[in-house]
Structure formats: C-alpha cells, structure tokens
Amino acid sequence: MGLPTTKPRPIRKLTQALRITLAINIVASAGCALGYGLHAAIASRYDVDAYLGPYDVLDGAQAAELLLMCSGLALLLVGLVAGILALKWSYRSNANAHIFSRGIENTPKWAIGWWFIPFAALFKPFAVISEVWRGAMEPDRWKVLKDPVRLRWWWAAHLLTSFLAIAGSAMERSAVTAGQVVTTDIVSATGMVAQVISTMLYLSVIGRIEPLQTALIAQGCRRSEDTATPSWAP
C-alpha cells in the first residue's frame, strides 16, 4: 500500500486567528475576575447575615457591576467566536494527523463531537489533542510517546475552570446573605483566574502543535503503507 492522496491543510492562519480571539478572551476574563473581586470586597463590609435580594445593588458596587457587565458581554461574544475557531482548529489538525500518522483513533468529526457528549467531554477532547500533538512530534512512533506535561496542565486547568463556573453559577442562584455573596464572588473570581490560566496554556499547546504540523506539511510527510481513503473522509 502507498501513500494517501489526501493533502494536509495548513493551520497557521487558523492558529493566528485563534490566538487573537483568545487574547481578547484573556483580557475579558481578567476583567470579570477583577469585577468579582471588587464586588466581594464591597459585600464584605456588610454583616455576614444581612439579607441581599437578587436585585439589590450594593452601595459603592456600581463600578464593579459595570465592569462585570461589560467584561461578561465581551467574554460571551468573543467566547463564541473563539469556540468556533477552536473546534475548527481541532477538526483540521486532527484531519492532518490522520494523513501524517497511522492508527489515530479519533476522527475529525469526533474531535468536535466529544466536546458535546456528557462524561466523555471530561477526557476525550484531551485524547484528541494528545494524538495530534504526539503525531506531529513523531509521526511514525507517536503511540510510544507519553502525553506532554504541558497538555496535562492545560486540561487540569480547563476542568477546574468548568467546575468553578458550575459551582459559582449554582451558588449565585441561592445567595441571599452578604456572607454568601462574598463566597460566591470569591469562587467566581477564582474561576475567572483559572480560565485565564487555562486559556494561556491552551495558547501554548496550539502554539507548539502548529509549527510541528507546518514543518511536516513542508516536508511532504505522509503515513506509510496506506493508499486507502481515510475513514473520516466524506
């Protein structure tokens, strides 16, 4: 069997676009973290058992809430764009990996789909990126390579971010005292800091994979002993 006829597609421009949106995402996340921190500091001035209704505005917290509103809106908008670009990046880099290496288990369609499957989303997207990274490092020996440490740190930060976001949202719905508001703000601020770290690590991950795949494309790398149409091809 010979080489596949399908050509890999460059991911450099896609990576650059993703970097820009993720940089904005970092700024917006930092703004949210600062807003929650300021709001927590103001709420801490109240008695811990003081009742705070869901629509009560704390004295002196207008600036903090404005910062949260603006940063949250920016985070929502840029997060949507960044999410779409990240899924596209995952799809294309995985498709390339199938051309460079034999035995890649996850298909390009599942490189997207795993993110939306309950429970599987906790570990399968990590496996997808791990295969892509290792396949770009050693196309013929990728299976014997260990998961990159940087990738593990990114995924740990991602899971922590998700957990804190869920916890903060649940706590916010039930917070009725100043003490509960402070705790909720601290959890939410910590979640935003975790998101900044997670995003920076993700930038590092894609920044490492992109030049590796670019070099393989320039070298004309193809998996050996395979002329069949890839299983993921339409």
- Summarised one tens digit per residue, pLDDT across range 35-72 is 999 999 999 999 988 887 766 778 888 999 999 999 99
Question: Sign (positive/negative) of CA torsion 184, 185, 190, 191?
Answer: positive
Distance (Å, whole) CA 69 – CA 58 = 15
pLDDT of the residue at 6 = 76
Q: Examine the pLDDT at 229 and tell me if it is beyond 90.
A: no
Q: Examine the pLDDT at 228 and tell me if it is beyond 90.
A: no
Give the closest residue to 167 by CA, choosing from 186, 145, 144. 186
Q: How confident is the model at residue 3 (pLDDT cuts 50, 70, 90)?
A: very low
Query: Would you tell me the crossing angle of helices 12-43 and 178-219 to the nearest 10 degrees?
Result: 170
Q: How is residue 78 written in tokens?
A: 């840029």
Q: What is the CA radius of gyration of the chain?
A: 22
- Summarised one tens digit per residue, pLDDT across range 69-116 is 999 999 999 999 999 999 999 999 999 999 999 999 999 999 999 999
Do residues 7 and 231 touch, judged by C-beta distance below 8 A? no
Distance (Å, whole) CA 232 – CA 92 = 12
Which residues have a Cβ under 8 Å from the Cβ of 45 and sit 6 or more positions away?
Answer: none
- Summarised one tens digit per residue, pLDDT across range 156-201 is 999 999 999 999 999 988 888 989 999 999 999 999 999 999 999 9
Distance (Å, whole) CA 99 – CA 9 = 10
pLDDT of the residue at 55 = 65
pLDDT of the residue at 59 = 84
Mean pLDDT calculated for residue range 222-228: 63
At 224 the three-state DSSP class reads coil
Looking at per-residue pLDDT, the higher value among 174 and 225 belongs to 174
What's the CA angle centered on 153, arms 151 and 158, to 5 degrees? 95
Mean pLDDT calculated for residue range 3-24: 88
Q: Examine the pLDDT at 133 and tell me if it is beyond 90.
A: yes
Query: Would you tell me the crossing angle of helices 124-137 and 62-100 to the nearest 10 degrees?
Result: 50
Q: How confident is the model at residue 230 (pLDDT cuts 50, 70, 90)?
A: very low
